[in-house]
Chain A
């Protein structure tokens, strides 16, 4: 065991910190889940990209730095520590990109990765449907073969699509084999949202921001070269993405360490004499560090070539509940200010509450843990 960073890693951290200290907008940006705020966030993404901080772990050819997983963790720590803006490109760079690297053709990678990294094109995720939430395999949106045109015709409704109203592209699952049931017969499509037949309708999330959207497809033509992975193998391809979403890439430990630091700062300002509050803050610190350490163990395994499996479900439950707990404690310290809608903790609290729901509800994760990690019977 060696819990120290190498000289190169320390230099990488120093470089990231210096750039972020100079460039992070001190007053923050309007919410990226509003149309106006989204545009500001894309300017920020462009600045990140130009300085090659947008996608540090990617190959240089696509705008990255070929950073190791360790360096990626360091960058994430520094990013959160600096209080830098939310990543409105995250569904592309963290969720779709790993899938493109694994299943994409060279043509698809060259076509989509650079514009994704720069924020020129932005991606939303088309998984959920009105009748397919936790039961994702119940997807009924379909794609019908158009042999003559060399592609597929998509129809159906996707919903709760994060930032769908502002994005340019959607990656989604559509049923290509109408006779196949459940996980079989689904295909993973890359859909430009300006294709004729696509209708997008934004709607409010819990906090009222237009961060959600319905994406309707009515006989939307998608050519063969926008199929990601093999036809009818979409479930397998999609699961690679949800692994990223639950586990390492979406919510790195730096985020919760930073939230914990802000909570500790708040407690020091307000005076933290109450024993119960002190217990809760200490628990937050313990859990944030536990998540960091567990991640270090995971990255050690990944660096040795091992693959994480259903264990990512353990992580997802843990960080999402930690985030809720940290915000709950902070609101408890804020007194009557807790009521103010625009206070950062109230905003963060409402976002934290989405954590146990998105990327597979925590109830589904607990089923996965019980069945695939502990080996309990499905029925």
Chain B
């Protein structure tokens, strides 16, 4: 029994952390809100150079041949900086799914359940998981833009005119649970950033002659956020482990991870906004970039209520 990451896994996490600190400061996230693609300029190519984007692709196909447990912390880091990229869609889902296909060289984006596909305009390949699961070329597809509350997540409805390849049930399942794990990890990272930035703010912000962080009303809110994140993170890490070792309960473990991480990040967002007061409510201030990413990802790929019902089925109905 050992519930901890290896030295190598932590070193990889640190390397990605440093890369993102350099390539994805808040200015990049803000720029993605209004630029042409909704994406970062260089973070994606730097991640590709480091091999991160092919981490789950088998070595025979040019990837790193790693597993979910090796990359879960990387997804958390991309959440921490609110990386505006189809990171989970491509790295955890699309790239390993299409590793043996011609499409593997380009960028893949994925949607699950939702008819709207993020970043479909800049992807080469579009994967849809749900009622009708398929892989389609972007070039064969007609896109119509929709606006996410998070303006960096460019959403499109997709009409495909070519003959998309159907996916079998096993492919869909692997893809879906990996993606859900990835968003859970990003939500933990987003939550940690929101907490850290709020701690900084309430220490600096003075009212009534003292830092507002000295008031219990503030302390208790932020303590609750810290608790929620403390207990959401191990569920996410366990889910990554369970997918890696093909634990029979892996799906339930991912459902638990998504429910807990979405709730923790949503709480972090709510309390971050409240503790920042009117400052945080201002559109020019960066806080809302993280808050809106939380809202988007908490809803994507099954919200907390949906995943809790999956857990309920597993324990009550079987």
Interface on A for B, CB 8 Å cutoff?
A: 1-6, 9, 70, 264, 267-268, 272, 275, 278-279, 281-283, 285-287, 289-291, 293-294, 296-297, 299-301, 304, 311, 314, 317-318, 363, 365-367, 369-371, 373-379
Contact = CB atoms under 8 A, between A and B. Distances in A.
Interface in B274-318: 305, 308-309, 311-312, 315-316
B237 interface: yes
B69 A376 contact: no
Contacts of B308: 278-279, 282-283, 286
Residue among B1, B216, B230, B305 with the most chain A CB within 10 A? B1
A322 to B, nearest CB: 9
11 contacts: A282-B309, A282-B315, A289-B235, A289-B238, A294-B234, A296-B3, A314-B226, A366-B216, A374-B222, A376-B202, A376-B214
A121 to B, nearest CB: 35
A75 B2 CA distance: 18
Given A9-B1, A287-B231, A367 B309 contact: no
B70 to A, nearest CB: 10
B315 A374 contact: no
Contact of A374 (B199, B234, B311): B199
A264 B202 CA distance: 42
B162 interface: no
A297 B1 CA distance: 10
A279 B309 CA distance: 6
Nearest to A376: B213
Given A1-B5, A1-B241, A301-B4, A286 B211 contact: no
Given A374-B222, A376-B199, A290 B231 contact: yes
Interface string B199-243: 100110000001101101011101110110011101101100100
A377 B211 contact: yes
Contact of B316 (A1, A281, A377): A281
Contacts, number: 147
Contacts of B223: 317, 365-367, 369-370, 373-374
B193 to A, nearest CB: 14
B315 A367 contact: no
B315 A281 contact: yes
Contacts of B6: 1
B260 interface: yes
A321 to B, nearest CB: 9
B316 A272 contact: yes
A299 B4 CA distance: 10
Contacts of A291: 231
Contacts of A286: 235, 256, 259-260, 308, 311
Nearest to B229: A314
Contact of B214 (A70, A279, A301, A378): A378
Contact of A293 (B213, B218, B234): B234
Contact of A376 (B203, B224, B259, B311): B203
A6 B1 CA distance: 7
A374 B3 CA distance: 24
Given A3-B238, A374-B222, A297 B309 contact: no
Interface in B1-52: 1-6
Contacts of B4: 1, 297, 300-301, 304
A267 B195 CA distance: 36
A377 B224 contact: no
A67 to B, nearest CB: 14
Contacts of B230: 294, 311, 314, 318
Contacts of B195: 374
Contacts of B211: 376-377
